[in-house]
Amino acid sequence: MTIKLEKQTIEIFKALKKKKSNEINAAEFADELGIDYIVLMSAINELKKYDLADFKEKEIFQVSLNEEGRSYLKERLPERQLLEVLLEKNQKEISLEDFQKLSDFSEKLFYIGLSYMKRNRWIAQSKATGENKIFLIEENFPETELEKFMEIFEKKNILNYSNLSKDQKKFVDLLNKRQLIKKEKKTQRIIFLTNEGKNTKVSQIEELHRISKLSSDMITSGSWREYELKPFDVTKQGPLLKGGKIHPVISMINEIQEIFLSMGFTEIRGPIIESAFFNFDALFQPQDHPARELHDTFYLDKPKEAKLPNKKNVQAVKATHENGGNSGSMGWGYDWDEDIAKQTLLRTHTTATTIRRLAEFHKNNDKMPVKVFSIDRVFRNEKVDKSHLAEFTQIEGIVIDENVNLCDLIGLITEFYKKMGFEKIITRPGFFPYTEPSMEVSVYFDKLGEWLEMGGSGIFRPEVTYPWGIKNPTRVLAWGLGLERLAMLKFEREDIRDLYINPIKWLREESY
């Protein structure tokens, strides 16, 4: 039978023949040849088909220093450290108590060190004077055999126990007794030439021209007949591709956009740098409202002042704060200050953006219903921890229509979460200065068996809509929901910061 092998397999066969030993460690051999372990083993399997080579498995014990052991490699063994203390302070004779104090070792470590000092015959201990005393009984303290042996680990982290000499094994056993050794069982592959392999000359082997790709030229010219086609195992898992992909949070934002678009909504965006006017005043939040305080809101020095919309609307907002204006409310009853409304800030919610849309309603002569949404970044001066971020994303939206009511709002929100894969939604009474009634929205998360709060919603109060000419029976349904909370649930992340710190392992595995 003619033996036909691929070029690389022939090379490996040659290299095997050059080896003196017939027990070759596969992993080391692959390293030596500078090829992949898998490539080597598939060549051995080829050789095995012709009974030229084979492999066997061998269990070995690998030993290395554990953490404590490694620390002694650096700092030296406790007995040597203790000895240094005595030598440094020039103490040839010292009471046990003073020695311990001087050493500053933990009790346990001190006694371990002491017992090995005695074993090494560096010291003697005597109570002859009535006091427990330590004496140095040597002048010189050369490196011990054990210390010499340990230096092996400076060059090699892991030793193969069975390859060690009798003496070396003794020291490993000693270190093991001192609990400074880590042992690991490993299976190694040993490759070897069979008798047939030893007797076969390289010149007896023909080179096999194998190809894995056919070109159209090869087919038309018939030259494919000269080659052997490489077999493919179509059942084998291909290598994991670690290509770039869309970030899971962006994927989720895309999905939410799709959902709102499919429900007939249009996307809007507003400025990140907002005026207090749109962030607070237009939302009927009084100018001394605690949410405006510095600890919640990032106010800006630059730009110093925001432009307010036209006078008529500003006057109308002022009036609702002072006396309710024409909204039917009594207002808050204080003197509204235009300068406070002109303050600039990083928007604390995207409700500022939907209010801007309200302000355009009449300007645009819009046809009802107006259905818009926004998925965008907001900022709050919060301490960042596993469940809080200082910048996060809100899923915001409004519907402006005649005679819409709370049931429509609950229906909309329920529909949205259903499309996101959350079946159970609960709304509870809540409070926001700009909606009446107001609702808090929670979804049920099966895996945790818990209700989790997602955000707020409600129907904008007349004090919010009237300044822009939106009057009963036209109403505005509004909601602002958290994105990151939802993302944590979907991606099963326990730390909200992961969404932006981007642990690479998670990003690779997440297939959302």
Residue keyed to tokens 């030598």: 87
Burial-class residue 196 by CB neighbours within 10 Å (0-12, 13-18, 19+). Answer: middle
**Between 252 and 355, CB nearer to ligand PHE:** 355
The answer to whether 336 contacts ligand PHE (rule: CB under 6 A) is no
Write each residue from 416 to 435 as x if it is in contact with ligand PHE (CB under 6 A), else as -, in one continuous string.
----------------x--x
Residues 51-90 that bind ligand PHE (CB under 6 A): none
Adjacency order of strands within the sheet including 93-95: 93-95, 133-136, 123-126
Residues composing the chain: 512
Q: How far is the CB of 285 from ligand PHE (least distance, A)?
A: 10
C-alpha distance across the termini of the chain, in Å? 55
Q: How far is the CB of 430 from ligand PHE (least distance, A)?
A: 8
DSSP alpha helix (H) spans, 158-210: 166-177, 195-199
Locate 63 and state its tokens.
């030993």
Write each residue from 433 to 472 as x if it is in contact with ligand PHE (CB under 6 A), else as -, in one continuous string.
--x-------------------xxxx--------------
Whole-number Cα distances in Å, 373 to 90, 209, 262, 270, 376: 80, 63, 12, 11, 10
**Between 430 and 469, CB nearer to ligand PHE:** 430
Q: How far is the CB of 348 from ligand PHE (least distance, A)?
A: 7
DSSP alpha helix (H) spans, 211-296: 216-221, 248-262, 276-279
**Between 440 and 510, CB nearer to ligand PHE:** 440
Cβ pair 390, 380 in contact under 8 A: yes
Q: What is the DSSP string of 294-313?
A: TTT--B-SSS-BPPP--HHH
The answer to whether 355 contacts ligand PHE (rule: CB under 6 A) is no
Name every residue whose Cβ is closer than 8 Å to that of residue 447 and which is 6 or more positions away in sequence: 492
- Candidates 86, 454, 478, 488; binder of ligand PHE (CB under 6 A) is 478
**Between 344 and 457, CB nearer to ligand PHE:** 457
**Between 79 and 274, CB nearer to ligand PHE:** 274
**Between 66 and 474, CB nearer to ligand PHE:** 474
The answer to whether 324 contacts ligand PHE (rule: CB under 6 A) is no
- Candidates 479, 488, 493, 496; binder of ligand PHE (CB under 6 A) is 479
Burial-class residue 226 by CB neighbours within 10 Å (0-12, 13-18, 19+). Answer: exposed
Residue 167 backbone phi and psi in degrees, to 5: -60, -45
**Between 324 and 480, CB nearer to ligand PHE:** 480
**Between 54 and 360, CB nearer to ligand PHE:** 360
Q: How far is the CB of 506 from ligand PHE (least distance, A)?
A: 28
Q: How far is the CB of 30 from ligand PHE (least distance, A)?
A: 59
- Compute how many residues bind ligand PHE; rule: CB under 6 A: 11
- Coil, strand, or helix at residue 205? strand
Contact stretch for ligand PHE (CB under 6 A) within 119-127, 292-300, 325-333, 474-482: 474-482
The answer to whether 265 contacts ligand PHE (rule: CB under 6 A) is no
Residue 388 has what DSSP assignment?
B
- Candidates 248, 309, 462, 480; binder of ligand PHE (CB under 6 A) is 480
Name every residue whose Cβ is closer than 8 Å to that of residue 360 and which is 6 or more positions away in sequence: 366
Cβ pair 315, 343 in contact under 8 A: no
**Between 361 and 432, CB nearer to ligand PHE:** 432
**Between 114 and 358, CB nearer to ligand PHE:** 358
Q: How far is the CB of 432 from ligand PHE (least distance, A)?
A: 5
- Candidates 275, 351, 374, 393; binder of ligand PHE (CB under 6 A) is 351
Give the DSSP H/E element, type plus range, for residue 4.
Answer: strand 3-6
Q: How far is the CB of 473 from ligand PHE (least distance, A)?
A: 20
Cβ pair 188, 30 in contact under 8 A: no
Residue ranges in contact with ligand PHE by CB under 6 A: 349, 351, 432, 435, 455-458, 478-480
